[in-house]
Structure 1
Amino acid sequence: MSRRGGPSWRRPATRRQLLLGMAVGMGGAAGLSLARHQSGGEGLSGAVAEEVRGVDRPSTFRYQRPDGPVSVIPPRREFYIDAEAGAQQTFGDLYLPATANPSLPVVILIHGGGWSKELGLEYMGKLAEDLASFDVAVWNIEYRRIGSGGGWPTTVQDVCSAVDYLQDIDKQMGGRLDLERVAVCGHSSGGHLALWVAGRERLPANLPGGKPKQVVSHCVSLAGVADLVSAEESGDRYLKDLLGTTLSDNRDLFVQASPIAHLPTGCQVVTIHGENDDVVLPSQSRAYVDAARAAGDDARLEIVPGGNHDPWTDIRQSPWKRARTILLSQLRVPGSSLTVTTPTTTAPANP
């Protein structure tokens, strides 16, 4: 694993952070005992716990304290493709809870931004830390994008490679990840990528991500693009650059690159969409759920009343808390303090 030229927005780690990071990375009983911090049990000192929980953030993003009961180790940057070969974009930030849990479920986060270099993974950082504070490992991934070496099929293949790299991370951690409980969650264009990952197990080998090493058990799409044909017809301004062609010139490619064209997935999928989203229309999620159910998949649509395109970016507000509840419920996060309820209010696929 190479770390040459690795981009970083974090301040240099303090001695305590380094020691705690080493403890969790060791994966053994001695290392885990150093990082143990559980409510009501043997824990870190108050000063150290606060330092661990206060994960650094880029100055442009306001820090928000996570809700969960456990502290979070400052994220560790891992390259899933050599930094030079991947133009220093093929990396992810791994968030780990400071607990002794020997079998951590995993959430993979995929940021949006029109598949473009204009936006990176930073805005998903606070979501990642919040999830990790509920005793979950979180893999917040970056990938090559339009304008910086990405596009079809590179962008999609990068994301699939990042998912497969979880197996390498698990080996480094001594088997501490529960790779049978892995959920993927993406926002906007990241939702397109998350839905693609959800269907990888049944993709033909000639498509990016076919023959996966690591599959996911669940998927949550936040305002995701599921059908590139209808998205283009609705005026999406990024798809021509993503695919390198137009709908009129190569309709087959738009169909091929659409998750809705590769059903069933065999994966449980929840799509969540803002009622008033005018960037990615709610019809994207509705059509996907209709088609997935018709194909025999376990799929559900939830509408955020009055929501726009990104009501999940503030972890203090109910839209993100709802999405988090769904993810934790999917992963069956144990422990009375971490119990979440199965959703009871669901918007029908055809209201």
Structure 2
Amino acid sequence: MTEGRVVEAGGSALVVRRAPRDRTRAAVLVLHGGQEKGLRPARPWHPPALRMRPFLSAAASVSSPRDVLVGQVRYRYRGWNDADPLQDTLRALDELRGRAGDVSVVLVGHSMGGRAALRAAADPGVRGVLALAPWCPPGDPVDDLTGTRIVVLHGDRDRVIKPAESAAYVRQARAAGAQAGMVLLRGGDHAMLRRSHDWHRASAAAVRRLLRPERDLEGWTAEACGAEEPLLR
């Protein structure tokens, strides 16, 4: 994606990377990873943020520049701490509503950002979540997710976060009313460096489908959401 001027206000949690030419119909917000604890400021040049640049480009490539906003959630801190990234995400969603009204939102989050995205999935504006190797610790609450679509991508060689924890989350999300599914990328690692092209391509396909909540899922996203166990690709 060719980045234009960043539209942001001082202290804003919402960073707009591509503003629509016309009225905003939908939005894709990207959330990067982090660490369990850390009160040092999060910066856009840190590796977890840089890692998500191709996913921003993927979201932009499959969405209309006419009416889909593409942006990021800006964290105050590097760590999860006391759910700080979740609060930043909810604040970004409120700022988006103030800017564009009630629009459908797809959240794309990696690792800690995946945890924040999944925790924010109960927000009324969120219609879809793409969680990339998300941090899903047992005991995290799963709120009412009726009408929300959730796709989880996880590498089967992830040595940082167990894929089984993502699979357990998918089961909980389904019980909470979500249409949810999981795909295991054969050989994929936590940093999404192995098979990086496949991570980017699969993410683009998932975002394209999640941006159309009025249509049924199709292809591998539909297969994943209908399968008892994670798909292996």
Q: Judge same fold: TM > 0.5, yes or no.
A: yes
Paired with 2:142 and 2:152, the residues of 1 have a C-alpha distance of 16
State yes or no: 1:330 paired with 2:205.
no
Change (3 A) 1:281 1:155: same
Percent identity over the alignment is 25
The match for 1:156 is 86
The match for 2:70 is 138
Q: In the TM superposition, what whole-angstrom CA distance separates every residue of 1:87-132 from its partner, at most 9, and x where no partner exists?
A: xxx54431226x7554442111110022545745343233223322
Change (3 A) 1:167 1:262: same
Could you tell me whether the CA contact under 8 Å between 2:97 and 2:103 is conserved in 1? no
Partner SS state of residue 135, structure 2: coil
Q: In the TM superposition, what whole-angstrom CA distance separates every residue of 1:35-71 from its partner, at most 9, and x where no partner exists?
A: xxxxxxxxxxxxxxxxxx643xxxxxxxxxxxxxxxx
Could you tell me whether the CA contact under 8 Å between 2:167 and 2:182 is conserved in 1? yes
Matches within 5 A, 1:175-324: 179-201=102-124, 215-227=125-137, 229=138, 255=139, 258=140, 261-266=141-146, 267-311=148-192, 317-324=197-204
Q: Which AA in structure 1 matches 2:133?
A: A
Change (3 A) 1:200 1:169: closer
Q: In the TM superposition, what whole-angstrom CA distance separates every residue of 1:136-168 from its partner, at most 9, and x where no partner exists?
A: 321112112257xx7214332122101111023
Change (3 A) 1:190 1:331: same
Deviation at 1:76, TM superposition (A): 1.5
TM-score norm. by structure 1 comes to 0.53
In structure 2, stretches of 5+ residues that fail to align are: none
Partner SS state of residue 182, structure 2: strand
Paired with 2:51 and 2:99, the residues of 1 have a C-alpha distance of 23
More strand by share: 2
CA RMSD of aligned residues (A): 3.1
Q: In the TM superposition, what whole-angstrom CA distance separates every residue of 1:203-243 from its partner, at most 9, and x where no partner exists?
A: xxxxxxxxxxxx2111111111122x4xxxxxxxxxxxxxx
Deviation at 1:311, TM superposition (A): 2.1
Paired with 2:23 and 2:127, the residues of 1 have a C-alpha distance of 19
Could you tell me whether the CA contact under 8 Å between 1:191 and 1:225 is conserved in 2? yes
Paired with 1:275 and 1:195, the residues of 2 have a C-alpha distance of 20
Q: Which AA in structure 2 matches 1:156?
A: L
How many residues align? The count is 214
The match for 2:29 is 108
The match for 1:78 is 8
Paired with 1:126 and 1:271, the residues of 2 have a C-alpha distance of 18
Deviation at 1:313, TM superposition (A): 9.2
Deviation at 1:284, TM superposition (A): 1.4
Partner SS state of residue 26, structure 2: strand
Paired with 1:128 and 1:345, the residues of 2 have a C-alpha distance of 25
Could you tell me whether the CA contact under 8 Å between 1:182 and 1:216 is conserved in 2? yes
Q: Which AA in structure 2 matches 1:159?
A: T
Could you tell me whether the CA contact under 8 Å between 1:301 and 1:349 is conserved in 2? no
Could you tell me whether the CA contact under 8 Å between 1:312 and 1:320 is conserved in 2? no
Partner SS state of residue 8, structure 2: strand
Could you tell me whether the CA contact under 8 Å between 2:122 and 2:144 is conserved in 1? yes
In structure 1, stretches of 5+ residues that fail to align are: 1-52, 56-73, 84-89, 202-214, 230-254, 334-339
Which of 2, 5, 17 matches 1:95? 17
